[in-house]
Amino acid sequence: MHFSKTLATVATFAMSAYAALPVASVDFQSWESCDVGAQVSGQPKFVARVTATPLTCDKTPVNPDWSIDNYSFSAKLDTKDAAYCHGVIIWNNDGCSGKPTTFLPFDDSPFAVGKCLPDILDPGYVSFKLACDFPGAPF
């Protein structure tokens, strides 16, 4: 009986810790064309949505379509504890490793809209992590 109580306590703690994890939705947008360095507007040709947290590395493939000449990223903080997060770190690989490709700042807002980027991404993947300042955060 004591073991069951301990297990239930551990499970409750784990769920509480997970519920407090900051989460953001990140859109990786592929454009046929947009003005590099300018805010994007209109409808991208492709959109991939991923979830980003400070503890996980989420990824999506780079679209290999020959008509894609530009990319952009946008993000929305999904949890109130995400107020401790200041942006999304983006890599051009599937493991959130090495030198990041770009950083998407929240600038004291729950939304971040990136600017039009040139076709700088290599085929493969882009991966994402939230950059947060809270006790125990990896960044």
| Domain count of the fold of the chain | 1
Place of tokens 């493969």: 124
pLDDT digits (tens, 9 = 90+) for 16-70: 444 578 999 999 999 999 999 999 999 999 999 999 999 999 999 998 888 999 9
pLDDT at 136 over 70: no
Average pLDDT value over all residues in the chain: 84
Could you tell me the two tokens for 131?
A: 């950059």
pLDDT at 124 over 90: yes
pLDDT digits (tens, 9 = 90+) for 75-121: 999 998 777 899 999 999 999 999 999 999 999 899 999 999 999 89
Residue 137, in any domain of the structure: no
Residue 53, in any domain of the structure: yes
Residue 1, in any domain of the structure: no
E runs forming strands in the chain: 24-31, 46-52, 58-61, 70-77, 85-91, 102-105, 111-113, 117-118, 125-132
Domain that includes residue 128, residue range: 22-132
Residue 76, in any domain of the structure: yes
* Reported pTM: 0.80
Could you tell me the two tokens for 85?
A: 């997060």
Residue 138, in any domain of the structure: no
Residue 42, in any domain of the structure: yes
Residue 91, in any domain of the structure: yes
